[in-house]
Amino acid sequence: MRGRSSVCRLIATCLVAFLISPPPGVSQVFRESTSVVAVEVPVHVIRGGKPVRGLTRDDFILLDERKQQEITGFEVIDLATVVAPGTAGAATTEGAPAPGASPVRLPVSARRHFLLLFDLSFSRPDSVVNARQAALDLVRDGLHPSDLVSVATYAHGRGPRLLHGFTSDRPQTEAAIQSLGLTQLIEPLRDPLGLVFGDLDGAARAFGLGSTGPGRGGSRQGYFAAAMMEFARRAEAQQQRQDRVRVTALTRSLADLAKLMDSARGRKHVVYLSEGFDTTPLFGTADQERLDQMSASAEEGRVWEIDSEERYGDTRSQNQLEEMFAAFRRADCTIQAVDIGGMQRIADVESGSQRSTERTRTKLAGRHDSLAIMASATGGEFYRHFNNLTEAMSEVLDNTSVTYLLSFEPRKLKLDGSYHRVKVKLKGGVAGRLVHRPGYYEPLPFGELGDSERQLRTAELIVGGLDGGAIDTAVIASPFAASGGRAYVPVFLEIDGLSLSAAVPGDSLNADIYAYALDGDGRVRDFLGHSMTVDMGQVRPMLERGGMKFYGHFDLPAGQYTLRVLVRDRQGGLYGLSTFDLRVPDFAEAEPAALPPFFVEAPGKWMMAREELAEGEELPAFPFMADGQPFLPAARPALRRGESVDVHLMAYHLGERPEVTGLVRNELGAELKEPAVAFTEAAPGPADMATASASFDTGLLDDGVYTLEVTVRDPATGKQASSSGPFVVANSRR
What would the pLDDT profile of 411-468 be if each residue is shown by its tens digit?
888 877 788 999 999 998 788 999 888 888 888 888 788 888 888 888 888 877 788 9
Pairing of β 50-51 and β 39-47 = antiparallel
In the predicted structure, residue 342 carries a pLDDT above the cut 80: no
What gap in Å lies between CA 72 and CA 274, rounded to an integer? Answer: 42
Q: Which of 395, 281, 283 is nearest to 336 (CA)?
A: 395
Question: Could you tell me the pLDDT band of residue 347, with boundaries at 50, 70 and 90?
Answer: very low
> Average pLDDT of 473-496?
94
Beta-carbon contacts of 551 under 8 Å, excluding residues fewer than 6 positions away, are 490, 491, 492, 608, 609, 610, 611
pLDDT of residue 2: 53
> Average pLDDT of 141-154?
89
C-alpha atoms less than 13 angstroms from C-alpha of 696 in its C-beta half-sphere: 23
In the predicted structure, residue 298 carries a pLDDT above the cut 50: yes
Q: Which of 240, 190, 161, 173 is nearest to 341 (CA)?
A: 190
Q: Which amino acid is at 18?
A: F
> Average pLDDT of 656-663?
93
What would the pLDDT profile of 190-233 be if each residue is shown by its tens digit?
322 221 222 323 323 333 333 344 433 444 444 434 443 444 45
pLDDT of residue 114: 94
The region of weakest confidence among 74-83, 356-365, 542-551, 660-669 is 356-365
> Average pLDDT of 379-401?
84
pLDDT of residue 182: 37
Cβ proximity of 475 and 494 under 8 Å:
yes
The whole-model pTM stands at 0.72
pLDDT of residue 303: 53
pLDDT of residue 310: 57
> Average pLDDT of 282-310?
61
- What single DSSP character describes residue 103? B
Q: Which of 280, 445, 452, 470 is nearest to 360 (CA)?
A: 280
Residue 697, helix vs strand vs coil: strand
What gap in Å lies between CA 46 and CA 24, rounded to an integer? Answer: 11
What would the pLDDT profile of 237-255 be if each residue is shown by its tens digit?
555 556 678 888 888 899 9
Q: Which of 144-153, 386-395, 464-473, 710-719 has the highest mean predicted lDDT (pLDDT)?
A: 710-719
pLDDT of residue 118: 92
- More confident call, 294 vs 543: 543
Beta-carbon contacts of 617 under 8 Å, excluding residues fewer than 6 positions away, are 4
Q: Which of 665, 493, 708 is nearest to 579 (CA)?
A: 493
- What single DSSP character describes residue 188? P
CATH T-level assignment (fold) for domain 466-623: Immunoglobulin-like (2.60.40)
What would the pLDDT profile of 43-66 be if each residue is shown by its tens digit?
999 998 899 999 999 999 999 999
Q: Which of 185, 62, 164 is nearest to 115 (CA)?
A: 164
What gap in Å lies between CA 550 and CA 495, rounded to an integer? Answer: 8
In the predicted structure, residue 159 carries a pLDDT above the cut 50: yes
Question: If phi over 0 gives left and psi between -120 and 50 gives alpha, with beta otherwise, what is residue 208?
Answer: left
- More confident call, 121 vs 234: 121
In the predicted structure, residue 236 carries a pLDDT above the cut 60: no
Neighbours of 321 (CB within 10 A): 24
Pairing of β 268-274 and β 333-339 = parallel
What gap in Å lies between CA 471 and CA 487, rounded to an integer? Answer: 30
The DSSP-derived string for 157-188 is TTEEEEEEEEES-HHHHHHHHHT--GGGPPPP
The secondary element (H helix, E strand) that includes residue 203 is helix 200-206
Domain range 113-384, CATH class: alpha beta
Alpha helices in 300-353 (DSSP H): 308-312, 315-330, 342-350
Q: Which CATH architecture has domain 637-734?
A: Sandwich (2.60)
Question: Could you tell me the pLDDT band of residue 291, with boundaries at 50, 70 and 90?
Answer: low
Pairing of β 402-408 and β 382-383 = unpaired
pLDDT of residue 467: 87
Pairing of β 598-599 and β 419-426 = unpaired
Cβ proximity of 194 and 356 under 8 Å:
yes
Cβ proximity of 647 and 598 under 8 Å:
yes
- More confident call, 690 vs 228: 690
For 495, phi then psi, to 5°, come to: -115, 115
Distance from the Cα of residue 517 to its chain's centroid: 16
Beta-carbon contacts of 483 under 8 Å, excluding residues fewer than 6 positions away, are none
Q: Which of 551, 495, 493, 552 is nearest to 526 (CA)?
A: 552
What gap in Å lies between CA 708 and CA 702, rounded to an integer? Answer: 15
Question: Could you tell me the pLDDT band of residue 185, with boundaries at 50, 70 and 90?
Answer: very low
Average pLDDT, the chain: 78
pLDDT of residue 731: 74
Beta-carbon contacts of 533 under 8 Å, excluding residues fewer than 6 positions away, are 508, 509, 510
Q: Which of 419, 718, 457, 719 is nearest to 575 (CA)?
A: 457
Residue 463, helix vs strand vs coil: helix
pLDDT of residue 124: 82
Question: Could you tell me the pLDDT band of residue 385, with boundaries at 50, 70 and 90?
Answer: confident
Cβ proximity of 7 and 552 under 8 Å:
no
What would the pLDDT profile of 608-623 be if each residue is shown by its tens digit?
999 887 777 777 889 9
Q: How far is CA 589 from CA 481, 558, 586, in A?
A: 11, 10, 6
In the predicted structure, residue 386 carries a pLDDT above the cut 70: no
> Average pLDDT of 467-482?
94
